[in-house]
Chains A and B, each alone.
Chain A
Amino acid sequence: MLEAINEALSQEMERDERVFILGEDIGLSGGVFKVTEGLLDKFGEERVLDTPLAEGIIIAAAIGSAMMGLRPVPEIQFADFITPAVDQIIQQASKLRYRSAGGYSCPITIRVCCGAGGGSGLYHSQENATWFVHEPGLKVVMPSTAYDAKGMLLAAIRDPDPVIFFEHKSLYRQAKGEVPEGDYTVPIGPAVVRREGGDLTILTYGFMTQKSLDAAEQMSQRGVECEVVEIRTLAPIDKETILNSVRKTSKCLIVHEDKKTMGYGAELSAILNEEAFDDLDGPILRVTGPDVPAIPFSPNLDKAWQVNTEKILAGIEKLAAY
Chain B
Amino acid sequence: MASKSNRAVMEPEAAEKPAPPARHSPELLLGLYRMLVKCRMCDEKARILFRQGKYKGNFYSGVGQEATEVGTAFRLRPDDWVAPSHRDWTANIIKGAPLKFCFAQLFAKVTSPDRGRSSPAHMGFPELHVITPASSIAAQLNIGTGVALGIKKLRQDAVVVAYFGDGATSFGGFHEALNFAGVHKLPIIYVNQNNLWAESVPLRLQTALTNLSDRAKAYGFPGYSLDGNDILGVYEAAQTAIARARAGDGPTFLECKTYRWYGHSEIDPAKYRSKEEVEAWKKRDPLAMFEKHLMEKKLLTEVKKKEIADETTREINEAVEFAEQSPYPEASELAEHIWAASAKGGN
Interface residues of A (CB under 8 A from B): 20, 46, 51-52, 54, 56-57, 60-70, 84, 87-88, 91-92, 95-105, 136-137, 139, 159-161, 189, 235-237, 239, 267, 271
Given contacts A64-B149, A69-B150, A70-B153, whether A103 and B114 have CB atoms under 8 Å apart is: yes
A51: min CB distance to chain B, Å: 7
Distance of A238 Cα from B241 Cα, bound (Å): 51
Complex contact A57–B150 (CB within 8 A) = no
* Chain B 306-343 near chain A by CB (<8 Å), digits 1 or 0: 00000000000000000000000000000011111111
Identify which of B169-177, B245-253, B271-279, B284-292 touches chain A: B169-177
Chain A contacts of B149 at CB under 8 A?
61, 64-65
Among A51, A103, A161, the residue within 8 A (CB) of B339 is: A161
Complex contact B345–A136 (CB within 8 A) = yes
Distance of A51 Cα from B181 Cα, bound (Å): 11
Complex contact A57–B177 (CB within 8 A) = yes
Distance of A237 Cα from B127 Cα, bound (Å): 33
Complex contact B176–A236 (CB within 8 A) = no
Q: Which A-chain residue is minimally distant from B345 (CB atoms)? A: A236
Chain B contacts of A46 at CB under 8 A?
153
Best-buried of A98, A101, A235, A236 by chain B (most CB within 10 Å) = A101
Rank and list the top 7 A-B pairs by shortest CB-CB distance, nearest first.
Answer: A64-B146, A68-B150, A103-B126, A60-B142, A65-B150, A57-B176, A160-B340
Complex contact A65–B153 (CB within 8 A) = yes
Chain A contacts of B126 at CB under 8 A?
100, 103-104
Q: How many residues of B contact A (CB 8 A)?
A: 46
Complex contact B114–A100 (CB within 8 A) = yes
A–B complex contacts, Cβ < 8 Å, 24 sampled: A20-B153, A54-B180, A61-B145, A61-B149, A62-B146, A64-B150, A65-B146, A65-B153, A68-B147, A68-B153, A70-B150, A92-B143, A97-B340, A98-B337, A100-B118, A101-B113, A102-B337, A102-B341, A103-B114, A136-B338, A137-B339, A161-B343, A236-B339, A236-B346
Tell me the number of A-to-B contacts counted with CB atoms below 8 Å. 155
Complex contact A160–B343 (CB within 8 A) = yes
Complex contact A52–B150 (CB within 8 A) = no
Given contacts A52-B183, A91-B139, A101-B113, whether A67 and B337 have CB atoms under 8 Å apart is: no
Among B146, B153, B173, B338, the residue within 8 A (CB) of A98 is: B338
Q: Does B102 sit at the interface, judged by CB under 8 A? A: no
Q: Does B344 sit at the interface, judged by CB under 8 A? A: yes
Interface residues of B (CB under 8 A from A): 113-115, 117-118, 122, 124-127, 131-132, 134, 136, 139, 142-151, 153-154, 172-173, 176-177, 179-180, 183, 336-347
Distance of A189 Cα from B338 Cα, bound (Å): 15
Chain B contacts of A96 at CB under 8 A?
132
Complex contact B147–A52 (CB within 8 A) = no
Given contacts A54-B180, A64-B150, A96-B132, whether A236 and B114 have CB atoms under 8 Å apart is: no
Among A68, A88, A237, the residue within 8 A (CB) of B151 is: A68
Distance of A98 Cα from B117 Cα, bound (Å): 8
Distance of A84 Cα from B172 Cα, bound (Å): 9
Chain B contacts of A189 at CB under 8 A?
344
Among A65, A136, A137, A160, the residue within 8 A (CB) of B147 is: A65
Distance of A232 Cα from B279 Cα, bound (Å): 63
Distance of A131 Cα from B249 Cα, bound (Å): 40
A69: min CB distance to chain B, Å: 7
Chain B contacts of A87 at CB under 8 A?
136, 139, 173
Chain A contacts of B114 at CB under 8 A?
99-101, 103
Chain A contacts of B113 at CB under 8 A?
100-101, 103
Chain A contacts of B139 at CB under 8 A?
60, 87-88, 91-92
Among A57, A67, A69, A97, the residue within 8 A (CB) of B179 is: A57
Q: Which A-chain residue is minimally distant from B347 (CB atoms)? A: A237
B173: min CB distance to chain A, Å: 5
Complex contact A57–B338 (CB within 8 A) = no
Chain A contacts of B151 at CB under 8 A?
68
Distance of A236 Cα from B347 Cα, bound (Å): 7
Given contacts A62-B146, A63-B146, whether A103 and B132 have CB atoms under 8 Å apart is: yes
Among A61, A99, A101, the residue within 8 A (CB) of B146 is: A61
Q: Which A-chain residue is minimally distant from B337 (CB atoms)? A: A102
Distance of A104 Cα from B147 Cα, bound (Å): 12
Complex contact A64–B173 (CB within 8 A) = no
Q: Which B-chain residue is minimally distant from A53 (CB atoms)? A: B176
B116: min CB distance to chain A, Å: 8
Chain B contacts of A61 at CB under 8 A?
142, 145-146, 149, 180
B201: min CB distance to chain A, Å: 20
Chain A contacts of B344 at CB under 8 A?
189, 236
Chain A contacts of B118 at CB under 8 A?
99-100
Distance of A46 Cα from B148 Cα, bound (Å): 14
Complex contact A88–B142 (CB within 8 A) = yes
Chain B contacts of A97 at CB under 8 A?
337-340
Complex contact B337–A101 (CB within 8 A) = yes
Complex contact A64–B340 (CB within 8 A) = no
Chain B contacts of A91 at CB under 8 A?
134, 136, 139
Distance of A103 Cα from B128 Cα, bound (Å): 11
B176: min CB distance to chain A, Å: 4
Chain A contacts of B145 at CB under 8 A?
57, 60-61, 64
Distance of A189 Cα from B132 Cα, bound (Å): 29
Chain B contacts of A84 at CB under 8 A?
172
Given contacts A56-B172, A100-B126, A101-B115, whether A67 and B146 have CB atoms under 8 Å apart is: yes
Chain B contacts of A69 at CB under 8 A?
150, 154
Q: Which B-chain residue is minimally distant from A108 (CB atoms)? A: B146
Distance of A189 Cα from B100 Cα, bound (Å): 41
Distance of A271 Cα from B346 Cα, bound (Å): 13
B43: min CB distance to chain A, Å: 22
